[in-house]
Amino acid sequence: FLFSLFSFLSFFSLLSLLFSLTHLSGICPTNALSQECSNEGFCNGTACICNSTRIGSFCQIECPLFSNDTDACRAQGACVEDAEGLGAAECSCYEGFRGTFCEYVCPRNPSTNAVCSNLGVCDDLGE
């Protein structure tokens, strides 16, 4: 009886240890090809850290790139998931930049550095 109890407790301890190790190490999401973080980022143990041109839980969404740029949104905006939630990305431009890729620089007042001299709104063409 004692041997059976000892065997059961040892088995239970082993299962508990394996569960703890698996839980602590974390498993990052993979794509349909079983590529961790879609080969577009790295796993920090619990989540994907995507490269600068990708977003999403497993780096599956490509950010908008202008021409031959290597930085999403020309480094003048942040790549975010589209407002419709369709699994696409769009640029959310920083103040003073506009356009699909944040490629237009809005005019600033040279004295105050205010966009459009605080008298208007910069449109999507940066005017």
pLDDT tens-digit readout, 5-42: 444 445 444 434 333 333 334 578 787 788 889 899 99
Euclidean distance between CA atoms 14 and 67, whole angstroms: 55
- The answer to whether 86 touches 106, Cβ cutoff 8 Å, is no
Mean pLDDT of the chain: 76
DSSP 113: -
pLDDT digits (tens, 9 = 90+) for 40-97: 999 998 899 999 899 998 899 999 888 788 888 988 999 999 888 788 999 999 988 9
